[in-house]
Amino acid sequence: MTLLNPTRRLLLQGVSAAALVAVAALGVARAKATGKAVDSIEDLISKMSIEEKAGQLSLFSDPTRFQGAIINPTSEQAATKDRVYADIAAGRITGLFNGIGVAGAREMQKIAVEQSPHGIPLVFAGDVIHGLKTTFPIPLAEAASFDTDLAFRTARAAAVEATAVGLHWTFAPMVDVARDQRWGRNAEGAGEDTFLGSQFAVARVNGFQGSSLKDDTSLLACPKHFAAYGAVQGGMDYNTADIPETTLRQTHLPPFQAAFDAGALSTMSAFNDVAGVPSTGNHYLLTDILRGEWGFKGLVVSDYTSEEELVAHGFAADGADATAKAINAGCDVAMQSGLYNAYLPDLVRNGTVSMATVDEAVRRVLRVKQALGLFDNPYRSLELDREKTDIRTAETLALAREAGRKSIVLLKNEGGLLPLSKSARIALIGPCIDDKYDYPGPWAVFPDIATCVTMAEGFQAAMGADGTLTMAKGSHYESLYDGGIDEAVRAAEASDVVVLVIGESAGMSGEAQSRVDISIPEAQLTLAEAVAATGKPVVVLLRHGRALALTGAANTAPAILATWFLGSETGHSVADIVFGDYAPQGRLPVSFPQASGQEPYYYNHRATGRPQRTADREYKARYREVTNEALYPFGHGLTYGDISYGATMVDAAKLKWNGTVGVSATVSNKGRRAAHEVVQLYIHDRVASLTQPVRALTGFRHIDLAPGETQTVTFTLRRSDLEFMTAKLRFAAEPGLFDIWIAPSAVGGIPASVELIA
């Protein structure tokens, strides 16, 4: 870090004197008193033309430095380099997204600060969802670690890499609670639970933003998609979210509020409507709740053309109407449509949008730029040397490996088949075992694909010369090919044990990748049956961006691991667990159903009037074909130990209104291997004025248990843990009895009860 004063630093970086006047005005005011910085922004706003204001509210994808995966529809807005440079000089662009590279960013920033009417710096954004060049596990996988410190550290490392390539702002974390596994974007979130999701939202915001947003390695966070995008009907992307406001507030909004409380200064309005009002034109969401109730001081950016989509929604008549509805609702920045540039000046002139509304949006944008330190130093995070030194460091790769292994969930391990011996004869079979392109996983926009460690490489490295590794692809992800099955069967027959890697390809989850059937594609099931028919023991390693419905040999295999998409170090992370060098610690952040048709399926559903408590199937809430249970419940994950839980105990039968009750249970490892256990606390409100979830996660704790060790785990329960969103749209607890479980998953545990007294 340089200690030069900001003005001198800017001069050295080639900023013109004229631009420095504008920049220095802000700097000087700030030096006098913090409050004065706002005055300077006011000065700036008072001098800007309406065209320049519209420009400050218009964000575009970067056609000049795009070098990653295609993740948005190609659009008419895709411009040439000359056009973009001219628009920057004219002050018609507030920032660019999804381009990386410091040299190009510096060139554009120079134009912005030296040639645009008021020298306002650009902000550079990007979809840094689970790492940049180093890819970490997809967010859903990482949520399976139940380890928020890990999420903090991977977000911090992602921020270091992202800022090294010239980004200031990430469109992450996605904090949408998703209860339908058909939705492809499950992969980007923290799963089906609001409590867990809120914890991960906070950790990721803190990790991205660091201790001060002005730091060179700090990345502005953008919790998205506001709101209820995870509630799209039928799990179909972009569909309507037709939910009551109590569900919106109890289930979908808390992770956002937690993220904003943690200091996130931007959010993205969702594509979907909520009960008929599209989020991007939703004044109640973007202004009344977000700003009014929560006091959010940051900016709202639309999701890619979602303001334009108000027309297709049938909520706005045309582009001008959509622009007015979006900005009047509280959407400050238009992403990619160009509508604000096109229509705002006239809308202000004809009085449809007030200048005060535009000014307020510009104020929010400028304050965020100020918070990022861009007025002090427009070239922050645009240093050529960090681009070389801060990418894929040994430390970051070690973190990716650690994150990968902590995200793996041991679903099943009959007869203690796992861990495997490194000197065994292993047949490693599956469509992706050495396909590098599949390894960064969904929503990795800028990954270093060539250096991703495949399963084949990871197994080879772990086994060295000790054992024998035979590899066969067997099938493609979604089709068979001549000789594939035969080759796989031969490999299986020549082995002691088969490791079968099957599931979804990276492209099968993520945006617009909703599925009607969440089982493993037919071709791979055929492969699984053929391999199982050899009679060799089979370890299934699942690849997936959502929970899957497991059938046939994929379900009956004696050992199954959920390995998601783990990113750069996948092969090493998986080998660490498969060969027992590390204890598995992952827990499911999503329920695995027995069949796709159970979706939306989530553990914390409301109690029905006819619950199926026994095998009894008559006139009960269940389907003809399967019981109303998960195949693998939320929170489930085995260890290599042998874990048992004692009964849940409370230290008092009654919880006073402002008091606490201690809740504890013993947890023992009777096995011969060390175990890492994630001890979970669930509650259920027996009688309430609105029906409540059958169980709700309220806490969790990580413990390490040596063979033969027993520990007592204690949680402290307060009234605030027992609150729910009432019909009055306030969180409140109601006196009465509550069931409490300390348990290894959302199913199981021996409950106690406590009475909340007023």
Smallest gap, in angstroms, from Cβ of residue 188 to ligand NOJ?
8
Which residue matches tokens 């020549």? 494
Shortest reach from residue 301's CB to ligand NOJ, in Å:
9
Q: How far is the CB of 511 from ligand NOJ (least distance, A)?
A: 6
Closest among 325, 332, 335, 329 to 360, alpha carbons compared: 332
Q: Which is nearer to ligand NOJ, 113 or 335 (by Cβ)? A: 335
Asked whether position 328 contacts ligand NOJ by CB under 6 A, the answer is no
- Decide: helix, strand or coil at residue 724: strand
Closest CB 628 distance from ligand NOJ, rounded Å: 33
Which residue type is seen at 530? A
Nearer to ligand NOJ, 304 or 343 (CB): 304
Shortest distance in whole angstroms from residue 171 CB to ligand NOJ: 3
CB of 445 to ligand NOJ, least distance (A): 8
- Decide: is 303 part of the binding site for ligand NOJ (CB under 6 A): yes
Match 């599949």 to its residue by tokens. 438
In this complex, which beta carbon is closest to ligand NOJ, that of residue 71 or of residue 89?
A: 71
Sign of the CA dihedral running 459, 464, 470, 472: positive
Judged by CB, which is closer to ligand NOJ: 97, or 439? Answer: 97
Amino acid occupying residue 312: A
Q: How far apart are CA 648 and CA 670, in angstroms?
A: 19
Show the site string, 221-260: x = touches ligand NOJ by CB under 6 A, - = not: ---x------------------------------------
The residues, any chain, with a CB within 8 Å of residue 82's CB and separated by 6 or more, are none
| Whether 597 contacts 560, CB under 8 Å | no
Residues 6+ away with beta carbon under 8 Å from 563: 408, 501, 541, 542, 543, 570, 574
How many angstroms separate the CA atoms of 559 and 164, rounded? 42
Residues 6+ away with beta carbon under 8 Å from 1? 216
Q: How far is the CB of 109 from ligand NOJ (least distance, A)?
A: 21
What is the rounded CA–CA span in Å between residue 733 and residue 756? 9
CA 480/CA 492 separation, integer angstroms? 18
Closer CB to ligand NOJ, 71 or 311, in the complex: 71
Closest distance to ligand NOJ from the beta carbon of 185 (Å): 8
**Min CB(203)–ligand NOJ separation in Å:** 19
Q: How far is CA 28 from the centre of its chain?
A: 39
Nearer to ligand NOJ, 87 or 237 (CB): 237
Contacts of 573 (CB under 8 A, 6+ apart): 400, 401, 402, 403, 404, 405, 407, 408, 458, 566
Considering only 171, 183, 446, 700, the residue that binds ligand NOJ (CB under 6 A) is 171
Residue 216 in contact with ligand NOJ, rule: CB under 6 A:
no
| Six token digits for residue 390 | 């801060």
Nearer to ligand NOJ, 167 or 497 (CB): 167
Question: Which residues have CB under 8 Å from 443's CB, separation 6+?
Answer: 71, 127, 129, 130, 138, 187, 188, 510, 511
Which among 193, 237, 303, 435 is annotated as catalytic?
Answer: 303
Residues in contact with ligand NOJ, counted by CB under 6 A, come to a total of 9
Which of 305, 519 has the CB closer to ligand NOJ? 305
In terms of CB distance, is 175 or 410 closer to ligand NOJ?
A: 175
CB atoms within 10 A of CB 171: 25
Contacts with 368 (C-beta within 8 Å, 6 or more apart), sequence order: 123, 220, 265, 266, 298, 299
Tokens linked to 673: 């291997």
Hey, is 543 helix, strand or coil? strand
- Rg over alpha carbons for the chain, rounded to the nearest Å, is 27
Return the number of the residue (197 or 635) whose C-beta is nearest ligand NOJ.
Answer: 197
Cβ closer to ligand NOJ: 304 or 724?
A: 304
- The single-letter DSSP state of residue 188 is G
Neighbour count for residue 20 (Cβ, 10 Å): 18
Is position 721 annotated as part of the catalytic site? no
Residues 72-91 that bind ligand NOJ (CB under 6 A): 72
Minimum distance of ligand NOJ from residue 513's CB (angstroms): 12
Binding mask 559-598 for ligand NOJ (x = CB under 6 A): ----------------------------------------
Strands 752-757 and 643-645, bridge-based pairing: unpaired
Q: What distance in Å separates the CA atoms of residue 77 and residue 80, rounded to the nearest whole number?
A: 9
Among residues 192, 511, 569, 576, which is the contact residue for ligand NOJ, using CB under 6 A? 511
Binding marks (x or -) toward ligand NOJ, 96..115, rule CB under 6 A?
--x-----------------
The verdict on whether omega for the bond into residue 521 sits within 30 degrees of 0, i.e. cis, is no
CB 707 within 8 A of CB 695: no
In the complex with ligand NOJ, the residue whose CB is nearer, 48 or 228, is 228
Assess 127 for contact with ligand NOJ (CB under 6 A).
yes
30 lines the binding site for ligand NOJ (CB under 6 A)? no
Residues contacting residue 67 through CB under 8 Å, at least 6 positions apart = 99, 100, 101, 446
Find the binding residues for ligand NOJ in span 595-654 (CB under 6 A): none
If 0-12 CB within 10 Å is exposed, 13-18 middle and 19+ buried, where does residue 351 land? exposed
Which residue number is nearest to ligand NOJ in terms of Cβ? 171
Interacting positions 408-467 with ligand NOJ (CB under 6 A): none
How far apart are the C-alpha atoms of 38 and 29, rounded to whole Å? 8
CB of 223 to ligand NOJ, least distance (A): 11
Q: Is 273 in the site for ligand NOJ (CB under 6 A)?
A: no
Q: Is 71 in the site for ligand NOJ (CB under 6 A)?
A: yes
Cα 577 to Cα 569: distance, rounded to the nearest angstrom: 13
* Contact (Cβ atoms closer than 8 angstroms) between residue 417 and residue 103: no
The torsion angle over the Cα atoms of residues 135, 141, 147 and 152, rounded to 10 degrees, is 30
Q: Is the peptide bond before 173 cis (omega within 30 degrees of 0)?
A: yes
CA 267 vs CA 101, 173, 230, 292, 697: distances in Å: 24, 10, 15, 15, 26
- Nearest distance from residue 512's CB to ligand NOJ, in Å? 9
Binding positions for ligand NOJ, rule: CB under 6 A: 71-72, 98, 127, 171, 224, 303-304, 511
Active site residue ranges: 303
